[in-house]
Amino acid sequence: MRKLSLLLGLVLTLLMGGSLFIGTLPLDLLLQNASVLWELRFPRMLIAVSMGVSLGLTGAVLQGFLRNPLAEPGIMGISSAAALGAVMVIALGLGGSHLFAVPLAGMMGVVGVTFFLYKLMQKHPNPLTLILTGLALNSLLGALMTLILTLSHNPYASLEIIFWLLGSFAHHSLGQVAFVIPLSVAGWIILWRLRFTLETLSLGEEMAIVLGASPKKMYGFLILGMALSLGPLVSLVGVVGFIGLLVPHMLRPFVDHKPADLLLPSALGGGIMALAADMVVRLLSNHIDLKVGVLTSLMGTPFFLYLLLKQPRSSHATF
Amino acid sequence: MDTAVQKGHFMWARVFIFSLFLQAQASIISLDLCADQWVLELVPPRDIFAVTYLAQDPDISFFSEKAIGLKVHKGEIEELLDPAIKSAVAMDNLDPFIKNILEKRGVRIIVLKSPQTLEEVNEQRQFLIKELGLKEKDSNPFPSPPLSRKRAVCYGASGLSPGGKTLLGQALTKAGFENGFKNFKGWKYIDWEKILEADPAVVFLLEGPSKNRHHPFWKRFMKNRREVELPKKVTLCACYSTVNELIETMKKTHHA
Amino acid sequence: MLHFEHLTIGYADRIFIKNFTAHFLPGQLVGILGPNGSGKTTLLKTIAKLTPPTEGRIILGGMPLQAFSEQNLARVRSYIPAELTCAWPLATRHVLEIGRSADHRNWIETLDLGNLLDQTFNTLSSGEKARVLLAHSLMRSPKVILADEITSHLDALYQDKLMDLLRDYTRTGKVGVVVLHQPDLAYEFCDQVFMIEDQKLHLLSKKPPQLKGQILS
């Protein structure tokens, strides 16, 4: 695990440096406008990496927590809540009123859903409740989003909503980044502290309790950590798919399937994948218009299917 | 009492009388916002059976004033079954289900292409005039002005922006600007490094106020440039009058 | 050390054992027998604080069980379920590491697990799993060890060995409660043998309490 993390960390660091030199601006113009590096490429790099880390980490935590390799950070409804808040503000035409209008609205949605999930899971701390509630929340929030789209009289607002939903790391200011990243880091720390619980959970919820995990506490921390890791970032960036499902799945064999040891490599791997995808988007932007979420899904899905089919049956755990 | 309301009542009464006595005349319906624009531009009101409710929204409909007083519909099938309807005008994304039903009822359907260039605007205009048997109106409507050195771009806040071979790009040229995005054709997703490279003196914004303008980079970039918001009613749909208005709007920024 | 006070266990619609009181001293290994569905497993789970009792209470080392936090309780009691599947294809070595065991000692040797360490836990036979889980339990040196049918899938040799081990372990001042299917094993190794029948806990046999190196009256 240590070697793997070191390697992934090294790759990520190299990519972070390299990404500053990727863009469409010719070098002579770049030298005249050095602020492009600091005001455009640097925050873009930071936001891509932290989104990737959040997705990789939350994916690994959630899969370990629910003991289900199909779990994906979106299943709890937190991302949908962020999206709904943001979409509502865009549809009302307030998206341009302030730099923080959209992300703050998204975070209001996240706070609401988190509070609801937290209250519910303190009453019924079990995975089925979490999955079913997430399913219900996702379809409710999805319906509300569709409603907003259909009610919106402004075709440009609808276009903006659709583009926003596709997710993009571009054009976020340093101020926004400085606001969002500390919140995410707080979420990462909370999730990181769930390592022991994840380890014990691999023997089932009952054994986890026997070994000292408290159901109420672990669901509380899970929801809080997920909300902080995902909520602010999704509110700013939009929904970027598939990294949270793919990366933990890909790296699990390298840590001998140990759910706690998966967290760090998965977080780093998520950062690499998000940043690499964004760099590809930028490199190709003169030839083809791609959105980073589209690219991750396009690249990820066939690879994921390949891994799934290649795997020996025994490693499909208990499903 | 408010005169607009009185006028509205009067218009409604007129439509009502027409529908009683001159039913055969009000026989043309338009099925979406852009078809509304064409019909409202070319067809006399007494021949219009109905337009969509969107046509009365002054934000997005160039001919909203003309549409007030006309019968409106919401595109529900049952609204379209009136036997008075003889012709329907729609853009090429018409729902095949609706198309099928109308055709079965013997309604003539005139499908217009969304024009992507000025030439296509003229083509569609001539096409509709011919199809509806209207009187020929003045053609060659877009005279080219002298070219200025000023560079301008149209920029969509969601990033999607028009390049060389687009209606908006051509409108820029007609308005006397050099199109900063002329080196790519069609619509393209633009990030700010590309705008910086294009270095326009004027940026025409397509999509209302955007959060971008609070971004420190954008603020600095726009310091010595002009930012002009184009009204939606002239960028959403293209018929002769909207394009003309679009060009006029762009021209005005030369003087201001 | 382990004390049942007017304990009733089961669920609202299904009571297994009604109103029983018992007391177990350090050094005792307790065997529970009973037909299928009589509530043996539920009894163990109630002692493990995985299921709340319907009535009454359990006192562990002078403190009511309900007052223990999960974390504190984990330090003093362990529980071995009758069946266990790992959610991930973990190697046996890694399963043994789960839960930060303090004491690795020589349980791996004692229970002959050396050649199983690198195999995937889920591919082990039920008997092998039982040995692994017992080792996992003992490594945490619990004061109360609860085991559900760990001998059922073992051959005769290992049955004796495991029971012997459990008895020796409890002799060091711990309490063991084991659910068994084989009465002969219970009579041979356990200090007290109970039978669940008609919602009652019948005491079948009782040996004098013993601690290693000393005899208590």
pLDDT (tens digit per residue) in C21-69: 999 999 999 999 999 888 999 999 999 999 999 999 999 988 999 999 9
The lowest-confidence range among A73-82, A306-315, C6-15 is A306-315
Residues B249 and B157 in one domain: yes
Distance CA B170, CA B165 (A): 7
Instruction: Tell me which of C50, C70, C118, C177 to substitute to probe the interface with A (most A C-beta atoms closer than 10 Å).
Output: C70
What average pLDDT does the structure give for chain C? Answer: 89
- For strands C192-197 and C29-33, give the pairing: parallel
What average pLDDT does the segment A292-298 reach? 85
In chain A, pLDDT over 70 holds for what percent of residues? 97
Q: What is the CATH number of the domain that holds A292?
A: 1.10.3470.10
Residues B87 and B176 in one domain: no
Q: Does A117 fall in a domain?
A: yes
Q: Does A226 fall in a domain?
A: yes
Residues B11 and B58 in one domain: yes
For the cut 80, the answer to whether the pLDDT of residue A318 exceeds it is no
What average pLDDT does the segment A68-85 reach? 92
Residues B102 and B170 in one domain: no
Give the bridge partners for C193, in sequence order: C31, C205
Query: Are the C-beta atoms of residues B36 and B8 closer than 8 Å to each other?
Result: no
Written as one letter, the residue type at B250 is: M
DSSP, collapsed to helix, strand or coil, labels residue C66 as: helix
Using a CB-CB distance cutoff of 8 angstroms, which residues of chain A are in contact with residue B154?
Answer: none
Q: Does B227 fall in a domain?
A: yes
- Look at residues B58, B93, B112 and tell me which one is the last residue of a structural domain: B112
Q: Does A27 fall in a domain?
A: no
Q: Do the interacting molecules here have an ipTM over 0.95?
A: no
**Predicted pLDDT of residue C215:** 43
Total of domains in chain B: 2
Q: What is the pLDDT of residues C125-140, one digit of tens each?
A: 999 999 999 999 999 8
Q: Which chains touch A (3 or more CB pairs under 8 A)?
A: B, C
B196 with A39: Cβ contact below 8 A: no
What average pLDDT does the segment A221-248 reach? 93
Total of domains in chain A: 1
Q: Does A71 fall in a domain?
A: no
Using a CB-CB distance cutoff of 8 angstroms, which residues of chain C are in contact with residue A252?
Answer: 88
Residues B155 and B221 in one domain: yes
Residue C136 main-chain phi, psi, to 5 deg:
-55, -40
B212 with A36: Cβ contact below 8 A: no
What average pLDDT does the structure give for chain A? Answer: 90
Q: Which residues of A5-27 are buried (b: 16+ CB within 10 A; e: fewer)?
A: beebbebbeebbeebeebbbbee
Among A210, A17, A52, A215, which Cα is nearest to A127's?
A: A215
Among C10, C122, C68, which Cα is nearest to A204's?
A: C122
Q: Which residue in this structure is represented by tokens 């880390």?
A: A53
Among A104, A58, A57, A71, which Cα is nearest to A85's?
A: A104
Among A229, A216, A225, A233, which Cα is nearest to A194's?
A: A225
Query: Are the C-beta atoms of residues A187 and A228 closer than 8 Å to each other?
Result: yes
Q: What is the CATH number of the domain that holds B233?
A: 3.40.50.1980
Residues B12 and B98 in one domain: yes
Who among B192, B214, B220 is closest to A98 (CB)? B214
Q: Which residue in this structure is represented by tokens 């082990």?
A: C124
Q: Does B118 fall in a domain?
A: no
Name the residue range of residue A299's domain. Answer: 76-238+276-311
Among C106, C170, C102, C95, which Cα is nearest to C128's?
A: C95
Q: Does A33 fall in a domain?
A: no
Name the residue range of residue B90's domain. Answer: 3-112
The lowest-confidence range among A303-307, B206-210, C95-99 is B206-210
Q: Does B123 fall in a domain?
A: no
Q: Does B222 fall in a domain?
A: yes
B192 with A289: Cβ contact below 8 A: no
- Cβ neighbourhood burial of C92 (10 Å; 0-12, 13-18, 19+): buried
C74 with A212: Cβ contact below 8 A: yes
Instruction: Pick left, alpha or beta for residue A241 (phi over 0 → left; psi -120 to 50 → alpha; otherwise beta).
Output: beta
HEC-encoded secondary structure of chain A: CHHHHHHHHHHHHHHHHHHCCCCCCCHHHHHHCCHHHHHHHHHHHHHHHHHHHHHHHHHHHHHHHHCCCCCCHHHHCHHHHHHHHHHHHHHCCCCCCCCCHHHHHHHHHHHHHHHHHHHHHHHCCCHHHHHHHHHHHHHHHHHHHHHHHHHCCCHHHHHHHHHHHHCCCCCCCHHHHHHHHHHHHHHHHHHHCCHHHHHHHCCCHHHHHHCCCCHHHHHHHHHHHHHHHHHHHHHHHCCCCCHHHHHHHHHHHHHCCCCCCCHHHHHHHHHHHHHHHHHHHHHHCCCCCCCHHHHHHHHHHHHHHHHHHHCCHHHHCCC
Query: Are the C-beta atoms of residues B211 and B219 closer than 8 Å to each other?
Result: no
Q: Does B177 fall in a domain?
A: yes
B160 with A174: Cβ contact below 8 A: no
Q: Does A50 fall in a domain?
A: no
Q: Does B130 fall in a domain?
A: no
Indicate the pTM of the whole model.
0.87
Written as one letter, the residue type at C209 is: P
Please give the biggest Cα pair distance in chain C. 49
Q: Does A306 fall in a domain?
A: yes
Q: Does A156 fall in a domain?
A: yes
Using a CB-CB distance cutoff of 8 angstroms, which residues of chain A are in contact with residue C73?
Answer: 212
Number of residues that make up chain A: 319
Instruction: Put the strands of the sheet holding B202-205 in their side by side order.
Output: B178-179, B151-155, B202-205, B226-229
For the cut 70, the answer to whether the pLDDT of residue A84 exceeds it is yes
- Alpha carbon of B236: minimum distance to chain A alpha carbons (Å): 8
| Residues belonging to chain C with any Cβ–Cβ distance to chain A shorter than 8 Å | 48-50, 69-71, 73-75, 77-79, 81, 84-91, 94-95, 98-100, 120, 122-123
**Predicted pLDDT of residue C211:** 56
pLDDT tens-digit profile, chain B (256 residues): 344 444 445 555 555 555 555 445 689 999 999 999 999 999 999 999 999 999 999 988 999 999 999 999 988 888 888 889 999 999 988 888 889 999 998 999 999 998 989 989 999 999 999 998 887 766 566 766 666 678 999 998 778 899 988 999 999 999 989 999 998 888 888 888 999 999 999 999 987 667 777 889 998 999 999 999 999 899 989 999 999 999 999 988 886 6
A33 with B160: Cβ contact below 8 A: no
| Interface subset of A 221-260, CB within 8 angstroms of C | 252, 256-259
Q: Does B220 fall in a domain?
A: yes
What average pLDDT does the segment C193-207 reach? 89
Query: Are the C-beta atoms of residues A292 and A167 closer than 8 Å to each other?
Result: yes
Residues B163 and B93 in one domain: no
Q: Does B137 fall in a domain?
A: no
Chains B and C touch (3+ CB pairs under 8 A): no
Taking the CA atoms of chain A, what radius of gyration do you get in angstroms?
20
